[in-house]
Amino acid sequence: MADASGKPPAGLLEGTLALIGSYDECLSTVAWKHSDDVHSSRGRRDTNAQSKNSSASSEPATNDDSDPAFVGSYCTLQMAPNFDFIELFHNHTHAIDLLGSYLSSDQVAEKTLRIPGSHVSYRVGLCVPSACTKDDIDRVVQHLLKDVDFQGSVTRCEIREEVPVSNLQMAIMATAAICLILVTLGTLLETCCGIEDVARNAKEAALNGTELDSLLVRLVRCFSLQGNLSELLGLSSSRISNLAVLDGIRSLSMLWVIFGHTYFFVENVQPFRSILNGHQVHTGNIIMASILNFTLSVDSFFLLSGLLIMYSNWREFEFTGTMKILPFICNKYWRMLPGLMATMGILFLLPLFGDGPFWKDVLDNEITLCESKWWTNLIFMNNVFNNQEMCLVATWYLACAFQFVLLAPLLVIPLYRSFLRGFIVNFLFILGGSVLTAGVTFLYNLPPGMIFFPDLNMLVEICSKVYQKPYNHVGPFCVGILLGYAIRKHRNMYISKWTQFVLWTTSAISCTAILVVAYPWNQRLPPQPVATVYAATHRVIWSLGISWLIFACISGKGGPVAAVLSWGGFGVLGRLAYLGYLIHPLLILYQVATTRSLIYYSHYDKLYSFCGHLVVTLALSTCLYVFVEGPCLRIANEFLKQQRTIPNVSMTETHHRHDMGGINNVTRLTKDCVPNHYTTRNSCKL
């Protein structure tokens, strides 16, 4: 037990916060009641068993002989200094006097706030006998700490036990088994009978009046492995969409999100070694500006969402003069829900597949929140809660995206009826979102954005009050709607070479400036007026810069940029982007929760982790697409395709799926297809 307990490692002054010891060694420790049996417990149990079998007259072994006296109990001690590091940071002179023994004076103001002990506690893993309760150990700790300037407490103790399977977990596994059976049946149906035969038999059943048989056949077909893989790989159509460039933007933005989350998603820094080196990692190279500002990727998603909603509903406006709002909203809800529910199901199953010294701090907390707040995710209102009270914190994006779906008719319909009226409505929403963001940032004295600022309390506050709120992202969504209108109405307009050069240059400079101008603020925060202006405008400016790139590529002015972004491989990645966005945070949390040794914080280690996260994310996303999302999308098409009200009209372009345009896929349609919100292949999530 002494060997399994945590001991002071090297690098404490570099920010190593956890003395975790050996978690598995502690939980594997068993003390038997007979001291001479400590090293031969298995042999003694075998001897007892043989003795029982050899003599019927002998008395059976008692529990006192076979049960251990106690086992190893792994207890977590959290300690923190009694003085306030944040107060020291604001008192430069005092900080120099106190910390000058190991920091030069020019480093104190820069690094004092970055000392992890200023925000989180130090952690020690203690291996003690299970006969000792948590309160017993806590009393001993309080006695030992009373003479030093530290406060601490034992937060929990755990022993090795079998994890019981809850009713919820059994229900999730039963649902997964049903999906597997349906996929098997659908695959056999198409493999044995052939796709054409199945379709013909279903049609004949419908003509003969056996609608139920026809419906059942079609529903089972929706789970076919071949059919869903064909949809995923884009094999169901050979035509190339004029909007395929959006696949490239969506895919690159998704990679940007995963890369950024690999660096910053885990708020608990205790699992990391020499965390003070993280300051140099984050601010030592201007290239890090693109990683530090990775949250701009979500505004690219919102931009695409607005664009595709406007673009894909235009043909319906031309035939009906309006849009069917309720079916539009219900269709979006149905297409977003299955992937979200599957992700929550995986989260609830994770306790059956892992443990570790950080498990209860990292994943158990997430599971507990989802057990109480799951319903907020299903109605896409989870972003109204504080960041620390949210189930699956990354799903704030889904909440914002669905809230924009509810808002979309108010923004889209006026634009079709009158450009000036629609432009004014969208501009007012852009202006209103910027003003609200500026007001909240200034009122609460917040940083200009999601920069690397190690005051965790401030980061939680900016997430809860600004970053996860719809008013902070409504600007890019409205810009996307206006861009969709421009593509529909003015895609073929003449633009001189000189004007194109100016627009390309302006776009590149504005997007680069948004990334680079915030880089020095990771060292020192700007004045509050500057922070307020940047917070209010940088997401809209970013979306405007990306808008020209999209318009130029779609209108044939993109050159090699359009060729790269239209690469076919991005189409497959784009179809997995929605599920990948949902799954990858669980993988990051699982890695940290199950780690047995401290993780070194460096660019190489983060890049290595990113590659692993990406590969596993794509593999799991493919499975979920085949077993969950793909069948659900095809089921929606079976039920809703009869409700189409727009006749087929020959068109010169093909179209995208537009459910939540930011993160799901671009689907290639045949030339004569028209976009409408009933067609599965015209839908796009996130």
**pLDDT tens string 410-433:** 999 999 989 999 999 999 999 999
pTM score? 0.84
| Tens digits of residue pLDDT in 139-163 | 998 888 887 778 889 999 999 998 8
Predicted local distance difference test score (pLDDT) of residue 35: 54
Predicted local distance difference test score (pLDDT) of residue 168: 95
**Nearest CA-CA partner of 640 in 368, 390, 328:** 328
User: For the chain, first and last CA: distance in Å?
Assistant: 50
Predicted local distance difference test score (pLDDT) of residue 458: 80
Q: Are strands 68-81 and 122-129 parallel, antiparallel or unpaired?
A: antiparallel
Q: What is the mean pLDDT of residues 52-58?
A: 41
316 or 367: which leads in pLDDT: 367
**Nearest CA-CA partner of 686 in 532, 575, 541:** 575
Q: How many CA atoms lie within 13 A of 208 on its CB side?
A: 11
Predicted local distance difference test score (pLDDT) of residue 230: 87
Element (H, E) at 267: none
Helices 528-554 & 245-264 angle (0-180, nearest 10): 150
Q: In this model, does residue 651 exceed pLDDT 70? A: no
Q: In this model, does residue 372 exceed pLDDT 70? A: yes
Predicted local distance difference test score (pLDDT) of residue 182: 92
CA–CA separation, 682 vs 659, rounded Å? Answer: 8
Q: In this model, does residue 272 exceed pLDDT 90? A: no
| Least reliable range by pLDDT among 81-85, 165-169, 427-431, 616-620 | 81-85
80 or 251: which leads in pLDDT: 251
Angle at 625 between CA 623 and CA 629, to 5 degrees: 140
Mean pLDDT, the chain, integer: 81
Predicted local distance difference test score (pLDDT) of residue 564: 93
Predicted local distance difference test score (pLDDT) of residue 423: 96
Residue type (1 letter), 372: S
| Least reliable range by pLDDT among 1-10, 238-247, 458-467 | 238-247
Q: In this model, does residue 377 exceed pLDDT 80? A: yes
Q: What is the mean pLDDT of residues 367-390?
A: 91
Q: What is the mean pLDDT of residues 53-63?
A: 42
Instruction: Report whether 245 contacts 554 (CB < 8 A).
Output: yes
| Helix intervals (H) in 394-455 | 396-417, 419-443
Q: Are strands 68-81 and 599-600 parallel, antiparallel or unpaired?
A: unpaired
Predicted local distance difference test score (pLDDT) of residue 102: 46
Query: What length is written for the chain?
Result: 686
Instruction: Report whether 588 contacts 365 (CB < 8 A).
Output: no
